[in-house]
Structure 1
Amino acid sequence: MITPPNQFNLRALQKGDKVRILCIARSAQKSELKNAESYLQSIGLKVDYGNTIGKVHYQFGGTAQERMEDFIEAWNDPEVAAIWIARGGYGSIQILEGLDFVQMAEASTPLSHRTNFTRKRSLSISTSLNDHGVEAHRKKDKKYIKPIIGYSDVTLIHSKMQKAGLPSIHAFMPLEVDTRTAFAKASFRKALFNEEIRVELRNNQNLSPQKIRGKLHGGNLSILYSMLGSEDLPDLTGGILFIEEIDEYLYHIERMMFSLKRAGKFSGLKALLVGGMTDMNDHKIPFGKNALEIIQDLTADYDYPVIFDFPAGHLENNVSLKLGMEMEILIDSNDIIFTQ
């Protein structure tokens, strides 16, 4: 078993950098991506498109081989600073076996037009996380990985990257730009430029005051559930797990939660963040609990905080998250503050 390397950080984009949009799952046409292109240009970034944009193979943006090759080509291209997945749906799993992120990370090269990727972060996060390895990011042997951006079905890619010790960005897709909030867009820009992201919630659950630090993992609940038994789920011990879901039956939410719990995936966490549980379904005879009640009941045995209503997932206010990177959670009697 390969020990995941610890010397990787997200590459901070700079104005003028190029973001490539491509498909690893369902298809997307260039005409659907004009608003995303305009948005990236508005924050100072250039845009180009992978070979899979415009391709259609049944539901998918090309064959599995074409999608895998397009992703690897973008990863290896020194002109591409970040990869933004066009849309989710289903299909990422078809290319997963062909992506060896340990090998790909070791072979990654600097961008052709610059060699210094370190972006000065705000004083508050540098100070608060100094004792937990942020200073190590400035060492000469630190490697900077181009951000892979997306969510939902892209949870497969995120999880395999985190298993290899690599960070990535959980964020909205290009086709969703027009429907995301200003706060979500601001967090997206900050994630790409590797600036501090801060989210504040009211402590409506009356959680005990405490400070928590840990690496953030997770994504879509169905995808995490589907990865049980594979080698691609990272070790969650000592970390913070985020989950979200859309368009699922309540009984299946409970089934997935039970399965993850029985597999030990909720043991040893520092915190569990529950994002959007959007458009849940029930049968004519009611299940008897909503999604939040199901999660609350199945995590009641643990002594870490389970924080509901975190603004990420299939929501208009889908805040960007730096997966595989440290998150700090500060809980006081009134508020909960999340910092990355």
Structure 2
Amino acid sequence: MDKRTFLKSLGLAATSIPSLSFGKEDFFETIENQKKLLASILQKGDTIGLIAPAGVIDTEESIVLTKEIFETFGFKVKEGKHIRSRYGNLAGKDEERLSDLHSMFADKEVKAIICIRGGAGASRLLPQIDYKLISQNPKVLLGYSDITALIMALFKKTGLISFHGAVGISTWSNTVAKSFENQFLLNNPVVFANPTDKGDNFIQYKERITTLKSGQAEGTLLGGNLTLISGLCGSDYLPDFTNAILFLEEVDENIERVDRMFCQLKLAGILDQIKGFIFGKCTDCGPTAGYGSLTLEQVLNEYIRPLEIPAYSGAMIGHIANQFILPVGAKVRMDADKGTITLLDKVLKD
């Protein structure tokens, strides 16, 4: 996952391209006045739109497999016009990727929008998005990693609850497929919890959670990729985190940079605002070469434990198989001792 140019690209986009979004008076400045915009429940036979708003799709098989996944669910599939485009490491120029995003939200036939992959580049689109168009056509948007930028911005500007979870090129196990069906076709309130299968072992060794601070908390679920959240600090594209439940995940970063990003969240005041904290997986995150670095455990101990709020790590969130499909912006209850996230309201319209 290439995230190194995120901050630079966001700055360039913000200064060079005029915004098509609402005026500042339309922004939701606090969680208290944040309206929730819900998409509609899906039905078999509905049309799913495929887009690539970030990194380039480098193999045709990625598109073929993504289509097969959703056709197997019983959906029709519509491709974005530019999903095979390429501009460096991006899936086309900004205007091409933006065009596909807008076209899918505007298309009355399309009921949900699936990102084929993450990568890098979604943040470049934020100043150009037509948020009024999206607010008038709320739809399911599913993705993670770099798609965090879109999920955060859409919630901040429109109140749309989008979904942090598997993209098209993810491994769609039966567990993920059942989660998708339960969430989007059945619209059932969900309890997200790690698997508890011990296998042939006396105790559970895999997929354990670590309680950082005991307790329960209720609030609005916000979060995503750590790099993207920290990179959006100071912009108009992060919602208010007061009394939120913050979840984070990361991939392919050394712990020195992870520490720096947690420091950014602390300096920006975000960590002092939240009511609960959940860390997923830090996939392929290792120590810094040379002098080494802190461990992830030390980073979480230093930034999270002193907050004295319910917190745990090890949740099935991130660049892993069988990851949760989390509705960002939903009201939830977290239990740091059991390692659970419980939805308190339905997140789609029946």
Structure 1 pair 67/197, CA: closer, same or farther in 2 (3 Å)? same
Q: Is the 8 A contact 2:212 2:312 kept in 1?
A: no
Select the residue among 173, 179, 198 that pairs with 1:187. 179
1:17-28 equivalences in 2 (<5 Å): 17-28=46-57
CA RMSD of aligned residues (A): 2.0
Q: Is the 8 A contact 2:333 2:341 kept in 1?
A: yes
Within a 5 Å distance, the mapping from 1:103-122 to structure 2 comes to 103-108=132-137
Shift of 1:183: 2.2
Q: Secondary structure at the match of 1:9?
A: coil
Q: How far is 1:282 from its partner?
A: 2.1
TM-score (norm 1): 0.82
The aligned counterpart of 2:214 is 208
Counterpart-to-counterpart distance in 1, 2:304 and 2:336: 19
User: Which of 148, 154, 171 in structure 1 is aligned with 2:147?
Assistant: 154
Deviation at 1:55, TM superposition (A): 1.7
Q: Does 1:324 align with 2:329?
A: yes
Instruction: Work out whether residues 165 and 323 of structure 2, in 8 Å CA contact, stay in contact via their aligned partners in 1.
Output: yes
Equivalent AA in structure 2 for residue 327 of structure 1: V
State the identity as a percent: 27
Which residues of structure 1 form unaligned runs of 5+? 109-144
Q: Distance in 1 between matches of 2:54 and 2:66?
A: 18
Distance in 2 (alpha carbons) for counterparts of 1:93 and 1:3: 18
CA shift, 1:260, in A, is 0.7
- Aligned-pair CA distance for 1:198: 1.9
> 1:298-309, aligned counterparts within 5 Å?
298-309=303-314
Distance 1:58 1:206 in 2: 42
Q: SS state of the match for residue 110, structure 2?
A: coil
Task: Please report how far the alpha carbon of residue 181 of structure 1 lies from its aligned counterpart in structure 2 after TM superposition.
Answer: 3.7
| Contact 2:135–2:160 (Cα < 8 Å) also in 1 | no
Instruction: Report 1:60-139 matches (<5 A).
Output: 60-101=90-131, 103-108=132-137
Task: Give the CA deviation at 1:220.
Answer: 0.4
| Alignment of structure 1 residues 42-61 onto 2, 5 Å | 42-61=72-91
| Separation in 1, partners of 2:178, 2:250 | 23
1:2 to 2:26 alignment? yes
Q: After superposition, where does 1:262-273 map in structure 2 within 5 Å?
A: 262-273=267-278
Map of 2:190 onto structure 1: 197
SS in 2 for 1:292: helix
The residue that corresponds to 2:348 in the other structure is: none
Provide the C-alpha distance between the structure 1 equivalents of 2:182 and 2:71, rounded to a whole number of angstroms. Answer: 15
Using the TM superposition, give the Cα deviation of residue 204 of structure 1 relative to its aligned residue in structure 2, in angstroms.
Answer: 5.0
CA distance in 2, matches of 1:209, 1:305: 5
Deviation digits for residues 153-197 of structure 1 (CA, Å, limit 9, x no counterpart): 111101101212221010111012xx3443233223333333333
Structure 1's 245 and 27: CA in aligned 2 closer, same or farther, altered over 3 A? same
- Residue of structure 2 aligned with 1:252, choices 241, 253, 257: 257
Which one of 153, 156, 168 corresponds to residue 162 of structure 2? Answer: 168
2:307 alignment partner, SS class: coil
Note closer, same or farther for the CA distance 1:53–1:3 as it changes in structure 2 (3 Å cut): closer
Does structure 1 conserve the Cα–Cα contact (< 8 Å) formed by 2:215 and 2:309?
A: no
Distance 2:287 2:339 in 1: 31
Post-superposition shift, 1:30? 4.2
Count of matched residue positions in the alignment of Structure 1 and Structure 2: 298
Cα distance, 1:34 vs structure 2: 2.0
* Structure 1 pair 251–319 and aligned structure 2 pair: CA distance change class (3 A): same
Once the two structures are superposed, what CA deviation does each residue of 1:108-152 show, in whole Å capped at 9, x if it has no partner? 2xxxxxxxxxxxxxxxxxxxxxxxxxxxxxxxxxxxx20111111
Distance 1:237 1:252 in 2: 25
Q: Helix, strand or coil: the match of 1:314?
A: coil
In the aligned structure 1, how far is the partner of 2:321 from the partner of 2:209? 22
Are the structure 2 counterparts of residues 87 and 336 from structure 1 closer, same or farther at C-alpha, using a change threshold of 3 Å? closer
Q: Deviations over 1:216-245 (max 9, x none)?
A: 111000011111111110001111111000
Question: Is the contact made by 2:44 and 2:75 (CA closer than 8 Å) also made in structure 1?
Answer: yes
What corresponds to 2:242 in structure 1? 237
SS of the equivalent of 1:214 reads strand
**Structure 2 spans left out of the alignment, 5+ residues:** 1-24, 29-33, 195-207, 344-350
Task: Report the counterpart of residue 200 of structure 2 in structure 1.
Answer: none
| Counterparts of 1:231 and 1:206, CA distance in 2 | 31
Q: TM-score scaled by structure 2? A: 0.79
Question: 2 CA distance for matches of 1:206 and 1:155?
Answer: 25
